[in-house]
Amino acid sequence: MALRLIFMGTPDFSVGTLQALAGAGHEIVAVYSQPPRPAGRRGLELTKSPVHQAAEALGIEVRTPKSLKGEDEQAAFAALEADAAIVVAYGLLLPKPILEGTRLGCFNGHASLLPRWRGAAPIQRAIMAGDTETGMMVMKMDEGLDTGPVAMTSRVAITPDMTGGELHDVLKETGASLMVEAMDALEKGALTLTPQPEEGATYAKKILKEETRVDWNSPARAVHDHIRGLSPFPGAWCEMTFGSKPERVKILRAEMGRGEGAPGEVLDDALTIACGDGAVRLTEVQRAGGKPIQAVDFLRGAKLGKGTVLP
């Protein structure tokens, strides 16, 4: 017998799980998502979230409250009489009446191996820290920040040059399959919950604009992990001078390079840049207002001579 579920999510990362649960035959009685946001060059058009659009395509009612703290919203949630709520990157805190507003509770799909990387940006933080493994977890939510007991885990290797975008796509598919498996077990009364250990807990804070700039004083391995963790969004960047004006250039891909020099020094004609220890070679970049291009194409129109030092 299928479960009556409420789905709560906002970005593209959440869409696969919504579609997978609907495809598995569960009844999605309502979808909660962040309200439409201004988009477009002028920011005048309100754009529905990816989850909002996917839910409408499935013919499911969509609710977009700005907060769930009000008694009216909490009563409307409880009135759905759902068996459980599924939460994947929703973006709003769930107060206690919402956590307790279904028969079996709220279950979160989280993109890390809890208790490591609790919080907002677990995918980027794992790569930026040089982790070689992460995963998806299904957790029963409590009032803490990603502190609830874990029901299921699926581990994923982080390969040496994997970007945040690539890991996002792998975990998106992994999480969808895992949540379907978890709800199948929940439906049968066979879902086992294991408390998280506190040892090894880390916090994946939101990525701030001021930390996206590349610090050439850092060791090459740290610079490489910083670049790939932030690719393609929001993107690590540095300043390069073309003519007389410095310009911000996003670095989307790099690889470990060879050579030594002053931090930020261009070591050759292939965009190998010295770091505090070692060097990285930039392989894909994006100028302001331009499209991502390979370094070899970039260098045809932007000459950076050997010995130039990037700030």
> pLDDT tens-digit profile of 258-282?
999 999 999 999 999 999 999 999 9
For residue 262, the model assigns a pLDDT of 97
CATH number at residue 185: 3.40.50.170
Q: Is 3 annotated as a binding residue?
A: no
- For the segment 104-113, what is each residue's pLDDT rounded down to a tens digit? 999 999 999 9
CATH number at residue 225: 3.10.25.10
Q: Is 113 annotated as a binding residue?
A: yes
State pTM to two decimals: 0.94
Q: How far apart are CA 266 and CA 123, in angstroms?
A: 30
146 and 15 together in one domain: yes
Point out the domain boundary residue: 203, 230, 254.
Answer: 203
Domain span including residue 268: 209-301
Please return the burial class of 220, using the count of CB atoms within 10 Å of its CB with bins 0-12, 13-18 and 19+. Answer: buried
**Residue 311 domain-assigned (yes or no):** no
Please give the tally of structural domains in the chain: 2
State how beta strands 37-39 and 293-294 pair: unpaired
For residue 40, the model assigns a pLDDT of 66
Q: How far apart are CA 104 and CA 231, in angstroms?
A: 38
Strand locations in the chain, DSSP E? 4-9, 27-32, 37-39, 45-47, 62-63, 84-88, 106-110, 118-119, 133-140, 150-157, 203-204, 236-242, 245-257, 272-274, 279-287, 293-294
Point out the domain boundary residue: 203, 232, 262.
Answer: 203
112 and 38 together in one domain: yes
Confidence of residue 42 (pLDDT cuts 50, 70, 90): low
Confidence of residue 288 (pLDDT cuts 50, 70, 90): confident
Note the Cα 158 to chain centre separation in Å.
14
**Residue 118 domain-assigned (yes or no):** yes
Question: Using an 8 Å Cβ cutoff, are 273 and 216 in contact?
Answer: yes
Q: How far apart are CA 14 and CA 224, in angstroms?
A: 28
Q: How far apart are CA 292 and CA 277, in angstroms?
A: 27
Q: Is 112 annotated as a binding residue?
A: yes
CA dihedral 260, 263, 269, 272 (to 10 degrees): 70
79 and 184 together in one domain: yes
Confidence of residue 302 (pLDDT cuts 50, 70, 90): confident
199 and 215 together in one domain: no
Q: What is the mean pLDDT of residues 38-66?
A: 90
194 and 90 together in one domain: yes
Identify residue 84 by its one-letter amino acid code: A
- For the segment 108-151, what is each residue's pLDDT rounded down to a tens digit? 999 999 999 999 999 999 999 999 999 999 999 999 999 999 99
Q: What is the mean pLDDT of residues 37-66?
A: 90
146 and 179 together in one domain: yes
Q: Is 231 annotated as a binding residue?
A: no
**Residue 309 domain-assigned (yes or no):** no
